[in-house]
Amino acid sequence: MMPRRKTTPVDQIRSASRRHLLQVGYSGFMGLGLNSLRPRGATAAESPAPVVAAPRAKSLIIVFCTGAISHHDTFDMKPNAPTEIRGDFNPVATSVTGTQICEHLPRLAARAHKYALVRSLSHQDNNHLMSTHHVLTGHLQPGAFFDKVASRDDWPCYSAGCEYLQRRSDGIPSGVNLPTFLMSSPLTWPGQHAGFLGPKYDPWQIVGDPNSSDFRVDALTLSQGIDATRLNQRRGLLKALDQQTDVSSDIGAYRMTEDQRLAFTMLSSGQLSQAFELNREADTVRDRYGRHAFGQSLLLARRLVQAGVPIVQANMGPVQNWDHHQAIFTTLKGRMLTPLDQSVSALLDDLDESGLLDQTMVMLLGEFGRTPKINKDSGRDHWGPCFTGMFAGAGVLGGKVVGLSDDIGAYPASAAFSPDDIGATVYTALGIDPHAVVRDRINRPVHLNQGKVIEALYGDVGV
């Protein structure tokens, strides 16, 4: 008769239910699991994309004016156009001779030497969802139709493309979107996710006003009763489990997966969690950005970039907050332009003073422009054929105006640049070949992007 083998801790754990193996206190944003929160690199079947050149940028901050900011009333004013075109606002001189912007953006006017304006962005869509996808992925939405919601057939957002092609294993996500999730029931905006690359490449979605006194990210907080010592004990136990050959066949339940290792990394390292602790900033800094959602979101974006997050998207306002079909001048003057002016100016100053502007690209734009003609409700409607974007940092030549619109801001009067070109510019700045091959949902090889870099941002190329 064979002697009974002594029961070991490993045996005891093997008999436990899988849900009790790792209770380390992490949770998912928006009800998502860790797969959608953690960074991943390329799969074994895919090699990383070749680096096309020395990266101009280590990081990218996207200031997204969801709903579409009016170019006529901000960065491409038409003071000589008829009244029904030019609107109620006046242009003012900037720090760059010959360049004017809206009178209600005085701080940005004083900093025009720090950024470039592209006034001939253009595409053919006038629908929020389709256009958002195009601008935030650099690619047309597959099978697009009016109000086509997000799906796994979509193209990947920029952070997902970077995450897929540039491997990470440090527990830092490649992308963070904040402070709101672009969704208005039942419509979920496309362009926020990894699309056909799958949920494991999705950026983090942070939902909560950073200006709120109780703002926190629970997924980076240990559960009550779990301290660093107990966390490390559990990590050691799981490591021991992983080394047991008699349990290695049950990989799904007992193997210490990459998910678990990165969960431990995020929870035991203060680098990422401290980035969300805005109270670590001096009151003077927080005041400079503005004690409002716009300002504290961009301060948080700067802190995340400092913590090593490559791409941060800050949505300036809830869904369609810049979609002014009515009373556009009252709304812009009274509620929108002042906080935007304050927060973006503070971000540019902060990055510049810290030396981060040399390695951080900042991009401000919406999904399209607004109609040249003011409608009967004193608003402007959707307009894809012409709009303006602001670009700064990481080699972009400040003080430059790239591209021209016609006399009423309806169409480009010089070479037009598409969202595909924005995508090529972003990927190239980050050192990724925009034409790298990735795999879609049915495993077909496709090029990540088909645009051309907006070279005029970096030198005396074109206008």
- Range with the largest mean pLDDT of 33-42, 183-192, 238-247, 406-415: 406-415
Range with the poorest average pLDDT among 258-262, 279-283, 420-424: 258-262
CA-nearest of 396, 287, 288 to 346 is: 288
Integer Cα distance of 203 and 173 in angstroms: 7
- pLDDT tens digits along 310-361: 999 999 998 889 999 999 999 999 999 999 999 999 999 999 999 999 999 9
- pLDDT tens digits along 152-198: 999 999 999 999 999 787 878 899 999 999 998 789 999 999 999 99
Tell me the average pLDDT across 259-274.
Answer: 61
Question: What's the pLDDT at 244?
Answer: 54
Integer Cα distance of 322 and 359 in angstroms: 29
Question: What's the pLDDT at 313?
Answer: 98
Question: What's the pLDDT at 231?
Answer: 47
Q: What are phi and psi of 304, to 5 degrees?
A: -70, -40
Range with the poorest average pLDDT among 2-6, 92-96, 216-220: 2-6
Integer Cα distance of 97 and 149 in angstroms: 44
Tell me the average pLDDT across 23-48.
Answer: 35
For residue 323, the one-letter residue type is D
Residue that wins the pLDDT comparison between 55 and 244? 55
CB 350 within 8 A of CB 79: no
The predicted model scores a pTM of 0.82
Question: What's the pLDDT at 2?
Answer: 44
- pLDDT tens digits along 396-454: 999 999 999 999 999 999 999 999 999 999 999 999 999 999 998 889 999 999 999 99
Integer Cα distance of 281 and 283 in angstroms: 6
- pLDDT tens digits along 69-94: 999 999 999 999 999 999 999 999 99
Name every residue whose Cβ is closer than 8 Å to that of residue 260 and which is 6 or more positions away in sequence: 22, 238
- The model's confidence at residue 368, banded by pLDDT at 50, 70 and 90, is very high
CB 203 within 8 A of CB 313: yes
Q: Average pLDDT of the chain?
A: 84
Tell me the average pLDDT across 215-238.
Answer: 58
Q: Which two tokens stand for residue 433?
A: 């070949």
Q: Positive or negative CA dihedral for 423, 343, 305, 34?
A: negative
Residue that wins the pLDDT comparison between 463 and 67? 67
Percent above pLDDT 70 for the chain: 76
Q: Which neighbouring-strand residues pair with 101?
A: 92
Range with the poorest average pLDDT among 22-31, 105-114, 287-296: 22-31
For residue 319, the one-letter residue type is V
Percent above pLDDT 90 for the chain: 69
